[in-house]
Amino acid sequence: MIGIAGAGAFGTALAVALAKGGREVRLWARDPQQIRLMHETGRNDHALPGVELPQNVSIRAEIGDICGGEALLLAMPMQALGGALDAWPQVGARQPLVACCKGVDLTTLRGPVAVIEARRPEAQAAILTGPSFAADIARGLPTALTLATSGKGEALQELLSTPTLRIYRTDDVIGAELGGALKNVVAIAAGTVIGAGLGDSARAALMTRGYAEMVRLAEALGARAETLAGLSGFGDLVLTCTSSQSRNFRFGVALGTGEAFDPRVTVEGVATARAVVELARGMGIDMPVTAMVNALALGKIALNDAIGQLMSRPLKQE
C-alpha cells in the first residue's frame, strides 16, 4: 500500500497513476465535503476535473489510515509541510517519507527533505520532483521524474515507477531540491517578461541567466551542477517557463500585465524567492533575477524599474 497525504491536483494525479500501475493507494483528504464528493462521484473534480479514480484508490479521512505502508507521499505545499508533520504524530518511520512539493521553507531556509529529517530523523526521507503537470500524469501521458534520497533508493524507485511514470534516482538531494524550488522563481520572471510584452527572445535570455543563478546557489550549498542540468533542474525549468499550465508562470504573466491573480492559488515561487533572497544574502551570492521577482511580488518595485535594473547591470564575460 502507498499512502498519499494531500488530495490536491498533484497528489490525486499520483494516486491515479500509481493505481493504474497496479498499486493499492490510500489518498487522504482534509476537507470532509471533498471526501464526500469523491465517494459519490468517483472523481476529484475540485482538483482534477473529469479524471476518474481507479477502484484501487480509497479515500481516507484519518491520517493514520494511510500510514504504515510501503511509502507515504507528502503532497502538500512546501510551507505547510513542517506544520503537517508536527500535527501528525501517527506519521512515523515505518515507511519512507517522500516529499512531493517544491520550495524552500521560510522559517528554516531548508528544503523539503531537511524539513522531514528534522522532525523524523529515523525515517528515510526523499523528494519526488521534476518536470510534470498533474493533468498529464493523471491522463497517463509519459512523464519522467527524479527521486532524490541520501539512503538506498532502488526499492522506492521501483515502487513509484509505472508504465507511464519513469523515475530516475539520485543521491544529490540538495541539487534536486533546489532545482525544483528555484525554477519556480525563474518561471515567475519568465511569465512577467511575456506578460509585459517583451517577447520570446527576452524570455530565453531570462531563463538562461536564471538557470545560471540556480547552478550558482546550488553549487555553493554542495550540490552537483549535473543535477541541475537534469530533470529536476533544467527539465523542470523549461516546462514551467514555457507553459500556461504553470501557476508560477501565470502569476508572472499577471505581474507583467498588472492584472489581479487569484489569491486562492498556491504560487510556491513567491515564498521561495523570499527565502532564497535571505539565504543568498547571508552567503554573499548574487542572484539578481530572484531579487527582482521577490521585489515585484512584494510590490517593492515597479515593473519598468525592475526591467531597467536588470538591463543596466555591468557588462561582463558570460
Complete domains list, the chain, with CATH: 2-171 (3.40.50.720), 174-311 (1.10.1040.10)
What's residue 135's pLDDT? 96
Segment (H or E) for 148: strand 143-149
What's residue 93's pLDDT? 85
Annotated catalytic residue 183: yes
Count each helix (H run) and each strand (E run) in the chain, helices first: 14, 8
Tens digits of per-residue pLDDT, 12-33?
A: 999 999 999 999 999 999 999 9
Residue with cell 525563474: 186
- Phi-psi bin for 261: left (phi > 0), alpha (psi -120 to 50), beta? beta
Q: Which of 63, 53, 70 is nearest to 160 (CA)?
A: 70
What's residue 317's pLDDT? 62
Average pLDDT per 10 consecutive residues for the chain, totaling 318 residues: 97 98 96 95 94 96 96 97 96 94 96 97 97 97 97 95 97 98 97 95 94 97 97 98 97 96 94 97 95 95 86 62
Q: Which of 11, 25, 32 is nearest to 54 (CA)?
A: 25
Say what the pTM is: 0.94
What's residue 309's pLDDT? 79
Total length of the chain: 318
What's residue 314's pLDDT? 59
Among residues 20, 102, 152, 183, the one annotated as catalytic is 183
